[in-house]
Structure formats: structure tokens, C-alpha cells
Amino acid sequence: MADIHPSAVVDPAARIGSGVRIGPFCVVGANARIGDDCQLLSHVVIEGYTTVGSRNRIFPFASIGHQPQDLKYHGEASEVIIGDDNTIREGVTINPGTEGGGMLTKIGNHNLLMAYSHVAHDCLLGDQVILANGATLAGHVEIEDGVILGGHTAVLQFVRIGRFAMIGGTAGITKDVPPFCLTSGGYRPGLAGLNLVGLRRRQFPNERIQCLKSMYRTLFQSTGSMEDRLEEAGRIAGDDAQALHLLDFIKTAKRGLLLHRRDSRETQ
């Protein structure tokens, strides 16, 4: 049974799971679905065709499912789908998809969206992603598992960020960021080596880290054509699944790749 504060406005058609707590002055629309044991602390608005999984905590003034900030949107019944065990902090905004982008904005499991971060229409986020305060995703952005975006980072539409990458604060990301990489912040973002701290925290074996280091040097710090560098990196990768994912990500880049900053002091 749900615990709904008397001041909350919950449409009778909304589907509310067991153990849900809906705090003061929340608004839940008719097409919303909220899974078991979620908590809406206060002043949370969930509208549109929004599905929220189980055990999510949503903090005051978050707005989820209101129409996207896209002038091409014409009221289509697009969706927001949010997985399980996410924390969505104060003032976060999450917009549904559009007809031009698959009709879906999707957020996976165990993510932390810090205060005032924004997930625009048709974005796809994996699991264990962290968006620090004020991080902003434009439409159609894809974020793979384990990515960390620093505070006030802005990501251009259609950009992809590969798994376990870390982006420094206040960066403007206009090209794809390869998996496992560290990106400098500020007004001149660029690759600064591997996200070694993140990889070690995730218990990547040393042999895999060494393999990724060699691939990074080959792909981003050596000379020659990208075709030749990819061929050499493929030999280094062997049959390692994570290394092969890095290669596949680079080969399928459509917005171009963020490159290594030559003035970086990062040692690999």
C-alpha cells in the first residue's frame, strides 16, 4: 500500500506500486507508473508516459516527463523509462523522447543524477552513471555504463560517451568520448589518458589495464593513419572483450572523436 501525503495530487489513473511514499505537494499524472518502494520526497512532478522502476528516491522540485524542449515536438505520446535504485536530486529535469529520436528517453539502474542536472529528449543512459551538479545533456545523447560527468559539463546532441569514461567539470563535449578515457575539463576539453582511478576502483585486472594503455598510446598518441592505428590496436586487443568494445566504439563514431591533448601532463 502506498503512503500518499494529503497535499499531493495523484491522478486516480496513475499506477502506484506497493510501499511507495509520495510526499507533500507532489503531482503525479494519469499515465505515470511508479514501481514498488519509491520515494518522492516533496514537490516532485511526474507527468506524461513515464515509468519509474523500483526503489528510486526523487528529491524536491525534480520534473520528469513534461514535454521536451524541442520545437519539433507535436504532442506525440513519447516515453520516459527509468530503471531501479536511482537517486534523482533536487531540480533535475528529464524530458521524454520525440518522434525524430525513437520516442524514448531511458535511464538504467543505480544512477545518481545530482542537483539541477538535465536529461533531454531521446537520451539513453546506462547503469551506474553519475551526472554531477548542473551537468546538461542535449537531445539524443548516449551515455554508457559507469560514466561520470563533472559539474556543469554540457554535452552536444547525438554525442556518445563510452563506458567508464570520466569528464572533467565545466567541459563542453562536442565529439564522442571513447570508453575508459579521462577527459580534461574547462573550455579546451581533450583526452588526458585512461581513467586509471576509475578502472582500478572497478577492479580491472592489471593485465587489462596494460592492454588498454597500449591501445590508447597506439590510437591517440602515435602517428600514421587511423586505419593503420586501428589495425595495430586490434592486434593488441586480441580477444579481450573490453578492448574490443573500445575498438568497436571508435569504428562506429559518427560525430568524430575527442582527441588527446598534446599539452596534457597525464602519464600513462
245 carries an active-site annotation: no
139 carries an active-site annotation: yes
In whole angstroms, what separates CA 150 from the centre of its chain? 12
- Which is catalytic among the residues 43, 118, 121, 260? 121
Instruction: Note whether 180 and 212 are within 8 A (CB).
Output: yes
- Which is catalytic among the residues 29, 108, 139, 168? 139
- Which strands, in side-by-side order, build the sheet including 172-173? 9-10, 27-28, 45-46, 63-64, 93-94, 118-119, 136-137, 154-155, 172-173
CA atoms of 6 and 144, how far apart (whole Å): 39
3-state secondary structure of 190: coil
Contacts 24+ apart (CB under 8 A), 67-71: 67/95, 67/96, 68/95, 68/96, 68/97, 68/98, 68/120, 68/121, 68/139, 69/95, 69/120, 69/121, 70/95, 70/98, 70/100, 70/120, 70/121, 70/139
CA atoms of 147 and 39, how far apart (whole Å): 25
- Which is catalytic among the residues 70, 84, 122, 127? 122
Cα 200–257–109 angle (5° rounding)?
50
122 carries an active-site annotation: yes
Positions annotated as catalytic residues are 121-122, 139
